[in-house]
């Protein structure tokens, strides 16, 4: 009898969720617009003032834009990390209209903090395993090991610990996620679903990355993982049938690899898609890394100006948001 009730509860949850999703999508589609998302990948490596100052200047110049921050708990697990200072530095660039998501690179300090055995391979920078000497000389290592190298159960532990660290330090409960290097294999998606996430933004258009890095290893992996993702790919349901989540493609990639005018070219492709059915809502995702903001954030500035000027000239309904369907209750 207990099993039957559980099944009824699950079926009820699925139907209610499906109804809410259908209702929200119908409402969004009725508006008919193009939506821009600007994300920030916090790599968990270091919090340099020059990058934080570049971000603060951007927030002052574009106060109307909320950002989708993919925060990394590894800042807190480094040796001798000061939680108060880490939190203060991160929060100095956050604003009330921001979304707090989760970003995970497989840093050794974070993996071992979650009581998971650290893996030194594979990695997207070099063909061989990571040297343990680099872990000691750099203070941490493992950022270029795809998190999909870990099992689903191990990932659930790493994700759960990461969430709790962020919440304990005053950040919002994350419901959105991006894998380090966009490497979200099916086991990552399964772990995210089990941990209650609603959105993933790891899918990316590999074509935009081709030839943009010193090594093609990551591009080759992504080209096999996200084969069907293009610069005009739109949100879709992904993951296990019992607990799917929305995949929000990072279809405009990140500023380290693409310029403002190139981002505008992605926007134009998506506007052409929108024009074929003006009742639909089209999403364009661009972003940058906190760790390289001083070097590349100017490209996002260029893109924002180009996006806003072009959509105004073309009379395309356009707005910036932090997360699609962020008001949804699942």
Q: What are 149-204's pLDDT values in tens digits?
A: 999 999 999 999 999 999 999 999 999 999 999 999 999 999 999 999 999 999 99
| Three-class secondary structure assignment of the chain | CHHHHHHHHHHHHHHHHHHHHHHHHHHHHHHCEEEEEEEEECCCCCCCHHHHHHHHHHHHHCCCCCCEEEECCHHHHCCCCCHHHHHHHHHCCCCCCCEEEEEECCCHHHHHHCCCCCCCCCCCCCCCCCCHHHHHHHCCCCCCCCHHHCCHHHHHHHHHHHHHHHHHCCCCCCCEEEEHHHCCCHHHHHHHHHCCCCEECCCECHHHCCCCCCCCHHHHHHHHHCCCCCCCCCCEEECCCCCCEEECCECCCECCCCCHHHHHHHHHHHHHHHHCCCCCEEEEEEEEEHHHHHHHHHHHHHHHHHHHHHHHHCCCCEEECCCCCCCCCC
Asked whether 170 and 91 are in contact (CB, 8 A), the reply is: yes
Residues in Cβ contact with 46 at an 8 Å cutoff, skipping those fewer than 6 apart = 291
Please provide the size of the chain in residues: 330
Check residue 1 and give its pLDDT: 37
Check residue 324 and give its pLDDT: 59
Check residue 327 and give its pLDDT: 38
Q: Is 80 left (phi over 0), alpha (psi -120 to 50) or beta?
A: left
Residue 66 in this model has a pLDDT that exceeds 80:
yes
Residue 278 in this model has a pLDDT that exceeds 60:
yes
Looking at domain 32-320, does it have CATH number 3.20.20.370? yes
Q: Model confidence over 39-58: pLDDT tens digits?
A: 999 999 999 999 999 999 99
Q: Is this model's pTM higher than 0.85 or not?
A: yes
Closest to 66 in 3D by CA, of 25, 105, 35: 35
Mean residue pLDDT of the chain comes to 90
Other CB atoms within 10 A of residue 136 CB: 11
């Amino acid at each position: 009898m207990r099993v039957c009730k559980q099944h009824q509860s699950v079926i009820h949850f699925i139907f209610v969720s499906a109804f809410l999703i259908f209702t929200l999508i119908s409402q969004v589609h009725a508006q008919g617009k193009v939506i821009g998302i600007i994300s920030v990948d916090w790599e968990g490596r270091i919090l340099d003032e020059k990058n934080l100052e570049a971000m603060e200047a951007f927030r002052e110049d574009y106060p109307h834009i909320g950002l989708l921050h993919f925060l990394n708990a590894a800042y807190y697990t480094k040796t001798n990390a000061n939680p108060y200072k880490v939190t203060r530095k991160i929060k100095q660039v956050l604003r009330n209209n921001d979304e707090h998501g989760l970003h995970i690179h497989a840093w050794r300090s974070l993996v071992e903090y979650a009581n998971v055995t650290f893996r030194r391979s594979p990695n997207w920078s070099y063909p061989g395993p990571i040297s343990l000497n680099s872990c000691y000389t750099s203070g941490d290592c493992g950022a270029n090991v795809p998190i999909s190298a870990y099992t689903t159960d191990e990932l659930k532990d790493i994700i759960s610990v990461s969430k709790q660290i962020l919440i304990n330090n005053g950040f919002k409960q994350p419901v959105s996620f991006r894998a380090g290097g966009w490497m979200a294999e099916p086991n990552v998606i399964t772990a995210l679903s089990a941990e209650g996430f609603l959105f993933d933004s790891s899918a990316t258009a590999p074509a935009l990355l081709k030839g943009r890095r010193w090594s093609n290893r990551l591009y080759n992996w992504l080209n096999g993982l996200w084969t069907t993702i293009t610069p005009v790919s739109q949100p879709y349901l992904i993951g296990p049938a019992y607990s799917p989540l929305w995949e929000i493609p990072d279809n405009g990639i990140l500023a380290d690899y693409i310029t403002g005018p190139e981002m505008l070219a992605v926007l134009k492709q998506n506007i052409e898609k929108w024009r074929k059915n003006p009742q639909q809502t089209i999403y364009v995702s661009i972003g940058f890394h906190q760790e390289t903001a001083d070097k590349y954030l100017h490209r996002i500035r260029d893109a924002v100006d180009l996006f806003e000027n072009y959509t105004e000239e073309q009379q395309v309904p356009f707005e910036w948001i932090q997360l699609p369907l962020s008001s949804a209750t699942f």
